[in-house]
Amino acid sequence: MLHRVVKKNDVNKDKWIGVGGHFKKGESPEECLLREVKEETGLTLTSYRFRGIVTFKLTDSLGETLTEYMCLYTADGFEGQLTSCDEGVLEWVEKSKIDSLEIWEGDKIFFRLLREEEPFFSLKLWYVEDVLKEAVLNGRALDI
């Protein structure tokens, strides 16, 4: 996990998040995964699975809405040594302790799905001013 404590004006400031980032032009989800993990951790993944897609609908205080998509992977094989990251502090965290960290409410949902070995899923999370207002899993609304 990455504890985002370094960047100023960071929407994820002081939160724990998974490793990842945005696509570069022409990249596939898999290429993006491998590049981002290498850049942020120094590790080269050797075994990983595409687990789901998360749609983020983000509405700000002016009512402007942005939609972003996240391809969600898990990995169980890697080579190399963990390095420092200029975006925060990297730390191995036991799966059972993730929910006790300062993470986004929607992240708690997809981390639970990953722990429960949910088959490939589509999760939509709607945040208004950083507050989770709606979560929809495979087309069905969840109680939040």
pLDDT digits (tens, 9 = 90+) for 47-100: 999 999 999 999 998 999 999 999 999 999 999 999 999 889 999 999 999 999
Answer positive or negative: Cα dihedral of 43, 45, 48, 51.
positive
Q: Is residue 8 over pLDDT 80?
A: no
Quote the CATH superfamily of domain 2-141.
Answer: Nucleoside Triphosphate Pyrophosphohydrolase (3.90.79.10)
* Buried-exposed string 36-63: b where 16+ CB fall within 10 A, e elsewhere: bbbebbebebeebeebbebebbbbeeee
Token readout for 26 is: 């022409």
Mean pLDDT of 8-12: 83
Mean pLDDT of 91-111: 95
Mean pLDDT of 119-125: 98
